[in-house]
Amino acid sequence: MKKILITGGAGYIGSHTAVELLKAGFEPIILDDFSNSQSSVIERLAEIIGKDVVCYEGDCNDKGTLEKIYSEHKFVGVIHFAAFKAVGESTVEPLKYYRNNVGSLIVLLDFMKEKGVKNIVFSSSCTVYGQPDKLPVTESTPRKDAESPYGNTKKICEDILVDFVKSKAGIKVISLRYFNPVGAHPSGKIGELPNGTPNNLVPYVTQTAAGIREKITVFGDDYDTVDGSCVRDFIHVMDLADAHVKALGYLNEQNDDFYDVFNVGTGNGNTVLEIIKTFEKVNRIKLNYSIGPRRVGDVVKIWADTTKINSVLGWYPQYTLEDSLRDSWNWQKNLVN
Ligand SMILES: NC(=O)c1ccc[n+]([C@@H]2O[C@H](COP(=O)([O-])OP(=O)(O)OC[C@H]3O[C@@H](n4cnc5c(N)ncnc54)[C@H](O)[C@@H]3O)[C@@H](O)[C@H]2O)c1
């Protein structure tokens, strides 16, 4: 079984990707410092997979930790999820974000070059497009100035990867630009586990449904969209996980010094109000929500053109928005009980 290092593998997207990797015949080796996840995720993963998962607790900024893991598991590729991701916090503590998100990529690339580990899939984000002029966004839609230090770390990391490949370091890279991951593993054993107040809509919705939050505020209903609320492209986390497996397979077929970038979304936009109403309908729950003022810096509407990932990687989403919202609620209920 080919081993793949998953940095941040105990986190939301990383843990679901570990499941999909194993299904596809890879062995995931997780490295996580649990700064934004819990060690119980590793036990839950083992329950889903039916065997123990290799996990190292450590910081991927530390080359010594990478050395130790490599000496025990000769991984042939890396999926680099580990990063801080709270947009608001990044504006208050930008150095924390640059140090972890940019610093860890540099340490990792250095290490990969030294050991001859060739394949890396990087977690980028649709945030690099900012407020796009034309929709849907393709991979060649111009990137805009980042709205936050967090967003900037994603742009900088993409640029570092491009330059590193150009330097003939012998490495093969795919950056995946995620749109809005939602949902949870259908078993309800793993899912998104935000620390404190959720930054993302769906955990806010599920926590409100569970009575943990009093109500949801919809930030603006007077935008130029079907119902006035903002539009996003919500992608089930299991589909997103599968995109990583497809990306690794594709990297395997490429020659050295390869770089490419793919959008990972459904190709459809849904409004915030549509999410609330669909959640209510699918789960037969009434949500307490109200309309508030617009939020500074919010992108009004964005969704992906997925032509490239469909045709090049042969990747298509399998889950519907209804599946996502059902699975998210199922996961939240398991957390409460
Ligand atoms: N969730 C989203 O909405 C979204 C959207 C676009 C891009 N992304 C990117 O995808 C990646 C994964 O996101 P997620 O939602 O799973 O986040 P997450 O916080 O759930 O997972 C990240 C994991 O990385 C770990 N980590 C952080 N710094 C580390 C370090 N230095 N060493 C070891 N482990 C470390 C955390 O403990 C956590 O388990 C991130 O790079 C994020 O920026 C996420």
Q: Which two tokens stand for residue 55?
A: 């996990």
Q: Which atom of ligand 1 is nearest to the CA of 192?
A: 20
What pLDDT score does 337 carry?
53
Q: How much of the chain is in helix, strand and coil states, percent to nearest 5?
A: 40, 20, 40
Distance 11 CA to ligand 1 centre (A): 6
Give the model confidence (pLDDT) of 132-155 as tens digits.
999 999 999 999 999 899 999 999
Q: Which of 150, 178, 250, 319 is catalytic?
A: 150
Mean pLDDT value of segment 58-66: 98
Distance 8 CA to ligand 1 centre (A): 6
pLDDT band at residue 218 under the 50/70/90 scheme: very high
Mean pLDDT value of segment 251-258: 98
Determine which residue's CA is closest to atom 18 belonging to ligand 1.
Answer: 11
What pLDDT score does 199 carry?
86
Q: What are phi and psi of 205, to 5 degrees?
A: -65, -50
Nearest-Å Rg of the Cα atoms of the chain is: 19
Give the model confidence (pLDDT) of 288-305 as tens digits.
999 999 998 899 999 999
E strand segments, the chain: 2-7, 26-32, 54-57, 77-80, 119-125, 172-178, 180-182, 216-219, 231-232, 234-236, 258-264, 270-271, 289-292
Burial of 160 (0-12, 13-18, 19+ CB in 10 A): middle
Give the model confidence (pLDDT) of 17-37 as tens digits.
999 999 999 999 999 999 999
Contact in structure between 275 and 201 (CB atoms under 8 Å) = yes
Q: Please state, in angstroms and rounded to a whole number, the distance separating the CA atoms of residues 262 and 244.
A: 11
What pLDDT score does 296 carry?
87
Determine which residue's CA is closest to atom 2 belonging to ligand 1.
Answer: 181
Mean pLDDT value of segment 48-59: 97
Amino acid at 66: L
Of 198-202, 207-211, 255-259, which gets the smallest average pLDDT?
198-202
pLDDT at 336 over 80: no
Q: In testing the pocket of ligand 1, which one of 5, 13, 41 has its CB within 8 Å of the most ligand atoms?
A: 13
Quickly count: other Cβ atoms within 10 Å of residue 131's Cβ: 12
pTM of this structure: 0.98
Mean pLDDT value of segment 89-118: 98
pLDDT at 105 over 90: yes
Give the model confidence (pLDDT) of 276-335 as tens digits.
999 999 999 999 999 999 998 899 999 999 999 999 999 999 999 999 999 999 999 998
- Cis, peptide link before residue 136, omega less than 30° from 0: yes
| Protein residues with CB under 6 Å of any ligand 1 atom | 7-8, 10-14, 31-37, 59-61, 81-83, 85, 100, 104, 123, 125, 178, 181, 200
Determine which residue's CA is closest to atom 32 belonging to ligand 1.
Answer: 59
SS3 3: strand
Distance 36 CA to ligand 1 centre (A): 8
Please report which helix (H) or strand (E) contains residue 130, including its range.
none
Determine which residue's CA is closest to atom 42 belonging to ligand 1.
Answer: 85
Is residue 150 part of the annotated active site? The answer reads yes
CA-to-CA separations, 185 to 18, 172, 189, 256, in angstroms, rounded? 11, 29, 7, 34
Distance 43 CA to ligand 1 centre (A): 19
Closest CA to 200 of 185, 180, 184: 180
Distance 81 CA to ligand 1 centre (A): 5
What pLDDT score does 226 carry?
98
Query: Per this entry, what is the length of the chain?
Result: 337
Mean pLDDT value of segment 72-90: 97
